[in-house]
Structure 1
Amino acid sequence: MPKFTIGGAKDMPKVLGLFNDQEAAKSAISSIKDLGISEDKISLVAKNGEDQDIEAGAEMGAEGQNLVDGTTTGGAIGGVAGVLASAGLLAIPGLGPVLAAGPIAAGLTGAAAGGVTGGLVDYGIDQQEGERYAGEVEGGNILVAVEDTEQEKINDIAAKLKDAGSYDVATH
């Protein structure tokens, strides 16, 4: 029986991709959804461009932000968030507002003290890789992660991430 955690199944195959462009990340998520992957298997983590005071676990909806139509002001990444209905802003100690969606978001909510690294470890990523991905998010890049039980689908997802412009794609 698989071991489940707050952030999803630790032993379920996953593919992670990093993007430095919102449109590329949005395109990747759309392509993955076109493969028949449900939103509850797609995660997104990105640092919000705004310096805002947001309570941990708060839904995205601060002034100037609208998940429904994907619009934001001041450089936040609402356009990407609009692709995933579950996206919300979380306050991560030491990092500030982070946009998160999917199984990783649940882990981030429960692991606020551990930050993005702790959420990724809960998701099934080893500590060293979790720290690396957390550093990428802190640097302003967008992390898209997808889990599925079928290795063939994981390979297709990895190809979609690469095709959309991910500069770093890895399976775990």
Structure 2
Amino acid sequence: MTRTITRSYDNYETASAVVENLEAAGISGSDISVVGRDERAKDSNAAEGAGIGAGVGGAAGLLAGLGILAIPGVGPVVAAGWLAATAAGAVAGAAAGGLVGSLTSAGLSEEDANYHAETVRRGGTVVSVKAADEHAATVESIMDGASPIDRDSRLAQYRAEGWNRFDEKAEPYKSTVI
């Protein structure tokens, strides 16, 4: 049996380290996805962003194939893996759902998918792994050991600000923190 394990991180650097640790533990890059905000992505054109992996992080494995993808409601993100390919296909085909649809197709609940998409919109990075049962504990240990965002606390914060779900028609998030 395979299940999808997904965590959000406040920054790309932490997520990048998680991906590298997963690969070092023997998790195939084809089972790992990363979608997130990185300052270098906003300065790049999505059409020019394919293959920026060595410049943004990781010269080998999944991160070497990192590219830039523009997601409605999020803006430009760095992305690699099956989740990025699914989201890119939805965007290119103007299919409904984008990142949220990709996450729910991977088995996440609607609430979790909206949370992760909003976290990316606000500057975070999502790492998602398709893990066989025998690898799930290792994947969770690596992902949780990197201090992912506390989902419940962050959802409470978002809701206190009036948020109730990811809106792909919204303008990309502009932080008010200086």
2:140 is matched with 158
Write the letter of the residue equivalent to 1:107: T
Write the letter of the residue equivalent to 1:25: A
CA–CA distance in 2 between the matches of 1:16 and 1:133? 9
TM-superposed deviation, 1:53: 4.2
Identical amino acids, percent of aligned pairs: 31
1:144 is matched with 127
CA–CA distance in 2 between the matches of 1:167 and 1:81? 26
Write the letter of the residue equivalent to 1:67: G
Write the letter of the residue equivalent to 1:147: K
Write the letter of the residue equivalent to 2:84: A
1:27 is matched with 17
Q: Which has the higher helix share?
A: 2
Q: How does 1:5-20 map to 2 (within 5 A)?
A: 12-20=2-10
User: Higher relative contact order by CA 8 Å / sep ≥ 6: 1 or 2?
Assistant: 1
CA–CA distance in 1 between the matches of 2:49 and 2:141? 31
Tell whether 2:36 aligns with 1:54.
no
How many positions carry a matched residue from both structures? 144
> Which residue among 51, 67, 71 is the counterpart of 2:53?
67
Tell whether 2:83 aligns with 1:101.
no
SS at match of 2:127: strand
1:124 is matched with 107
Q: Which runs of 4+ in 1 moved over 4 A?
A: 80-83
TM-superposed deviation, 1:140: 0.5
Deviations 1:6-41 (A, max 9, x none): xxxxx7311111111333222211211122111000
TM-superposed deviation, 1:109: 1.3
* Aligned partners of 1:51 and 1:96 also within 8 Å: no
Alpha carbon RMSD of aligned pairs, Å?
2.4
Moved more, 95-104 or 23-32: 23-32
Change (3 A) 1:154 1:85: same
1:38 is matched with 28
Q: TM-score, normalised by structure 2?
A: 0.70
CA–CA distance in 1 between the matches of 2:58 and 2:115? 22
Q: How does 1:86-97 map to 2 (within 5 A)?
A: 86-97=65-76
CA–CA distance in 1 between the matches of 2:148 and 2:19? 11
TM-superposed deviation, 1:52: 4.6
CA–CA distance in 1 between the matches of 2:73 and 2:149? 26
Which 5+ residue runs of structure 1 have no aligned equivalent?
1-10, 71-77
Tell whether 2:57 aligns with 1:79.
yes
Q: TM-score, normalised by structure 1?
A: 0.72
SS at match of 1:135: helix
CA–CA distance in 2 between the matches of 1:119 and 1:81? 26
